[in-house]
Structures are given as structure tokens and as C-alpha cells.
Chains A and B, each alone.
Chain A
Amino acid sequence: QKEVEQNSGPLSVPEGAIASLNCTYSDRGSQSFFWYRQYSGKSPELIMSIYSNGDKEDGRFTAQLNKASQYVSLLIRDSQPSDSATYLCAVTAGGAQKLVFGQGTRLTINP
């Protein structure tokens, strides 16, 4: 079983709709959770971090964490074509400051 799993997609969403990206992780000791956005040919950009159960909102982005279910998600409201990218879920490994990345979900927003 992979440590961090994401649906590879591609996920296709119409412009203006809500895009929902999901991630599960295996290490119950993980304390910090991150979402990165990566445009084609570019490096990852940190867009959300979440450390406690519940929701965290930042503009059009909402991260949701459920440690009991070992599940973290990212919602993008009012999706725009500029949101088309690969989204990487990352989770801290054990107690160290290492990150384990999922393989990424490719999101396409259709005008």
C-alpha cells in the first residue's frame, strides 16, 4: 500500500463548478498536511496547509482533514481555467520533517 494515495485523474470540471480532490495516507503519526499545485513543466507551489481536524478556508480553496479516517481533501470553488494543473497531496512522515507526496491528481477546468 502506498503511503499517500491520490486519484491520478484526469479530473475534468466545468468552469464555475466545485472541484474536489482527495487524498488518503497510511501513517497515523502524521501531523501536517499540505496541498501543492504544479503547472506543467513547473515546480510545485504550496497552496494550503492544514494541521488539525476540520476545515480551513483560504479564498476559493478549502482544505479538509479527518485524522480518524486518515483522509485529507481540497475543494476549489468557482473553478477557473487557470486552476488546471496537477495537485499534489503531501504528508509529514513520522516525526521527522520529511514529506511524502502522492502521485498527484491532474485537474482540467473546462471553459
Chain B
Amino acid sequence: DGGITQSPKYLFRKEGQNVTLSCEQNLNHDAMYWYRQDPGQGLRLIYYSQIVNDFQKGDIAEGYSVSREKKESFPLTVTSAQKNPTAFYLCASSIGGGLAGGEQYFGPGTRLTVT
């Protein structure tokens, strides 16, 4: 059963704590992405990776960090430096390359609440 998994579905943290969100895919996709969605808004790109051991900042990378040690996994750490971390976090993957490489498939998301 192929797909993208994110865990946990809901996450609660105290201000000042770092937290790591998990994203795993078994689609054999090369590219992976992290987005943030705030209520009533579209998606904003945090980080993306087109190949193992390489990643690039998206539009709102400040206060976040990622790693891509395995093709299947792309965890996102929300650090205490992120000023407004409460949001819905979405991980996506795509085959990468070519016109269809932009077809991104999303995991179920993690809803993070920081108080």
C-alpha cells in the first residue's frame, strides 16, 4: 500500500521547545517537500529536497530545519526560533524531473499547536 505517512496527526508543545515532525514515503519518489498552511490560506513552501543529502530553503525557512539522509524520509524540525509555529504542516513528494515531476502527492498532515 503506497503512500505518504506523517506522524503524529496532532501535536501539542510548549513555547520554547523544538519539535520534529515525521514524513515517510514508500512511493520511490526522489523529491520531497514541506509546506505550512494557516487557516484560510494557501500552502507556503518551507523546505524541499530533490535528492538524498541535499535540500533547499523555500519561501519561509526561518525557524525550521530538515534533513534528508534516506530517500524515504524527510523530517522537519520546528525550532524555538520560529515565531508563530502553530499551523497545519503538510509533507508532499513527487517523482521529480520533467513536466509531471511537479505532480505532488500529500500526506495527511500534522496539526501543531504551540502554547
Interface residues of A (CB under 8 A from B): 4, 8, 31-32, 34, 42-46, 49, 51, 88, 90, 92, 97-104
What are the nearest 5 A-B pairs in CB distance?
A101-B42, A32-B102, A43-B106, A103-B42, A101-B43
Question: How far in angstroms is the closest Cβ of chain A from B92?
Answer: 8
On chain A, the residues within 8 Å of B75 by CB distance are none
Given A4-B42, A97-B102, A103-B41, 20 more pairs with CB closer than 8 A: A31-B102, A32-B100, A34-B104, A43-B107, A44-B106, A46-B103, A49-B100, A51-B99, A51-B100, A88-B42, A97-B48, A97-B94, A97-B97, A98-B45, A99-B33, A99-B45, A101-B35, A101-B43, A102-B42, A103-B40
Interface residues of B (CB under 8 A from A): 31, 33, 35, 40-45, 48, 50, 58, 90, 94, 96-97, 99-109
- The binding surface of chain B is classed by DSSP as mixed
Task: Give the docked Cα–Cα distance between A90 and B109 (Å).
Answer: 18
CB within 8 Å for A98 and B48 given contacts A42-B108, A103-B41, A103-B42:
yes
Task: Give the docked Cα–Cα distance between A34 and B31 (Å).
Answer: 17
Contact present for A97 and B96 (CB under 8 Å): yes
Partner of A44 from the list B43, B50, B58, B94 (CB cut-off 8 Å) is B43
CB within 8 Å for A43 and B48 given contacts A103-B41, A103-B42:
no
On chain A, the residues within 8 Å of B44 by CB distance are 101
Pairs A–B under 8 Å by Cβ, sample size 27: A32-B99, A32-B100, A42-B108, A42-B109, A43-B90, A43-B109, A46-B104, A49-B100, A49-B103, A51-B99, A88-B42, A88-B43, A97-B31, A97-B94, A97-B97, A97-B101, A97-B102, A98-B45, A99-B43, A101-B35, A101-B42, A101-B43, A101-B44, A102-B42, A103-B40, A103-B41, A104-B41
Contact present for B99 and A31 (CB under 8 Å): yes
On chain B, the residues within 8 Å of A99 by CB distance are 33, 43, 45, 102, 104
Question: How far in angstroms is the closest Cβ of chain A from B112?
Answer: 14
Task: Give the docked Cα–Cα distance between A46 and B42 (Å).
Answer: 15
Select from chain A the residue with minimum beta-carbon distance to B95.
Answer: A97
